[in-house]
């Protein structure tokens, strides 16, 4: 049995970024950049207006409006030129008067107060000079980054590809959710739960498989999953699955973690680079394992800089007891009160199983050397990815 911190370290050490691909700008949002993007020219390429208004020369308070730009210098000094934000300023002008600080009557521009020379003008290369680094490798690409890449002259970007994932739910007694439950028959919450968690993290599984516990059929199911994915989540019958994986050449890097729930998590790595998580049978334990280990693994393989869960601190509004020596994850509802976070344990969380987690949005962390959590205590916690998305990682 290893600590949670050691388990996460091992997972991340075995989850280096995989391949890269070059995609058009309309297909890179949300992916991680695999190369630096530099400006290929000065931005802006000419002196430009920083606001809507009028380009003028000098400190006069009265100018004649003009639409021409090639006027004699002595005439230019008496003229104002309407410009919009981003427009090149006419040659010979040295400042821009904002529209709201001027008025126009009968073709004459009247200014309340003359701006200083260079006011409201963005000089050539002031935003970014040619060759300047605009987007750094490892950046998760937002729509803003896509726009910046276009400004830098790019129509394609090289990005890290996201790993293909698969979910294998094991059990001969499992039936579809629309079937009636009966003795020896149980509905399967694990497959839809895990698939949804992966999708919330941006990693939609390429295949989901229901496999029998019978050894040959389980081997067939795992082989199918591994043939089309780099990371496989196996839920149910971990003992048989572990033996099958060993015969397939996989090595179990760890078999248990000093935590509750999800202490019986197994992480195995294949010679060909495949990674398999054998998750606990119990849905809440499987959910915690996926949140704390599977999603960080997938983010690391996708090139993300932030792969560990971001740790927040909140004040507990409940008491909770736990055994010593284990890290305990406690489902809570985190909410903002003033300038601090409060951690509330909804009444139904005391209900066993997945229904008790319906209202939680975070996991409070009770350290191994503690015997529990007390009311008023400051407690570290992680937001669930389904709640906080990108800001749940650091």
Mean pLDDT, to the nearest integer, of 373-391?
94
Band of residue 2 on the pLDDT scale cut at 50, 70, 90:
very high
Distance CA 272, CA 292 (A): 25
**Dihedral sign, CA of 315, 320, 326, 330?**
negative
| CA distances to 15, 208, 258, 297, 309 from 10, in Å | 9, 26, 14, 10, 15
Q: Residue 365: what pLDDT?
A: 97
Helices (H), 201-294: 215-227, 238-247, 283-289
Band of residue 369 on the pLDDT scale cut at 50, 70, 90:
very high
349 Cβ contact list (under 8 Å, min separation 6): 331, 332, 356, 357, 359, 360
Distance CA 355, CA 66 (A): 71
Q: Residue 76: what pLDDT?
A: 65
Q: Are 276 and 250 in contact (CB under 8 A)?
A: yes
DSSP assignment string, 83-146: E-TTPBPPTT--EEEEGGGEEEETTEEEESSPPPTTTTEE-TTSSB-TT-EEE-TTPBPPHHHH
Q: Residue 355: what pLDDT?
A: 87
Tokens encoding 97: 């008067």
Q: What is the pLDDT of residues 200-259, one digit of tens each?
A: 999 999 999 999 999 999 999 999 999 999 999 999 877 889 999 999 999 999 999 999
Mean pLDDT, to the nearest integer, of 145-152?
96
The pTM (predicted TM-score) of the whole model is 0.85
Distance CA 234, CA 312 (A): 30
Tokens encoding 317: 């509004």
Distance CA 306, CA 304 (A): 5
Q: Are 394 and 311 in contact (CB under 8 A)?
A: yes
pLDDT at 68 over 80: no
Domains along the sequence of the chain with CATH: 4-18+163-301 (3.40.980.10), 20-43+128-160 (3.90.105.10), 48-122 (2.170.190.11), 312-392 (2.40.340.10)
Distance CA 297, CA 68 (A): 61
Q: What is the pLDDT of residues 117-138, one digit of tens each?
A: 999 999 999 889 999 999 999 9
pLDDT at 75 over 60: no
Task: Tell me how far the alpha carbon of residue 21 is from its chain's centroid.
Answer: 19
Helices (H), 142-189: 143-151
pLDDT at 276 over 60: yes
User: How high is the mean pLDDT of the chain?
Assistant: 92
Q: Residue 348: what pLDDT?
A: 66
Q: Residue 339: what pLDDT?
A: 94
């Amino acid at each position: 049995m290893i600590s949670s911190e050691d388990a996460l370290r091992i997972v991340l050490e075995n989850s280096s970024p995989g391949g890269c691909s070059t995609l058009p700008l309309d297909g890179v949002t949300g992916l991680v950049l695999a190369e630096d993007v530099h400006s290929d020219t000065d931005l802006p390429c000419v002196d430009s207006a920083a606001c809507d208004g009028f380009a003028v020369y000098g400190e006069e308070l009265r100018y004649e409006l003009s639409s021409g730009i090639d006027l004699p210098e002595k005439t230019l000094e008496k003229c104002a030129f309407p410009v919009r934000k981003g427009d090149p300023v006419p040659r010979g002008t040295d400042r821009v008067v904002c529209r709201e600080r001027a008025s126009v009557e009968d073709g004459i521009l009247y200014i309340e107060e003359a701006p200083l020379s260079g006011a409201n003008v963005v000089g050539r290369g002031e935003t970014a000079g040619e060759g300047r680094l605009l987007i750094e490798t490892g950046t998760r690409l937002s729509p803003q980054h896509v726009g910046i890449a276009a400004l830098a002259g790019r129509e394609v970007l090289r990005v890290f590809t996201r790993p293909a994932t698969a979910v294998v739910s094991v059990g001969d007694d499992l039936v579809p959710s629309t079937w009636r439950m009966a003795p020896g028959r149980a509905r399967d919450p694990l497959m839809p739960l895990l698939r949804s968690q992966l999708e919330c993290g941006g990693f939609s599984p390429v295949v989901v498989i229901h496999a029998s516990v019978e050894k040959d059929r389980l081997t067939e199911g795992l082989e199918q999953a591994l043939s089309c994915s780099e990371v496989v989540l196996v839920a149910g019958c971990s003992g048989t699955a572990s033996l099958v994986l060993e015969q397939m050449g996989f090595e179990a890097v760890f078999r248990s973690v000093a935590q509750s729930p999800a202490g019986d998590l197994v992480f195995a790595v294949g010679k060909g680079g495949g990674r398999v998580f054998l998750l606990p049978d119990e849905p809440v334990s499987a959910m915690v394992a996926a949140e704390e280990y599977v999603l960080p693994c997938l983010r690391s393989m996708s090139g993300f800089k932030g792969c560990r869960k971001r740790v927040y601190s909140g004040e507990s509004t409940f008491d909770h007891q736990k055994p010593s020596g284990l890290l305990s994850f406690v489902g809570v509802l985190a909410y903002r009160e003033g300038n601090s976070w409060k951690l509330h344990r909804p009444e139904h969380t005391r209900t066993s199983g997945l229904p008790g987690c319906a209202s939680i949005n975070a996991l409070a962390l009770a350290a191994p050397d503690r015997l529990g959590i007390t009311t008023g205590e400051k407690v570290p916690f992680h937001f669930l990815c389904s709640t906080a998305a990108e800001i749940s990682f650091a």
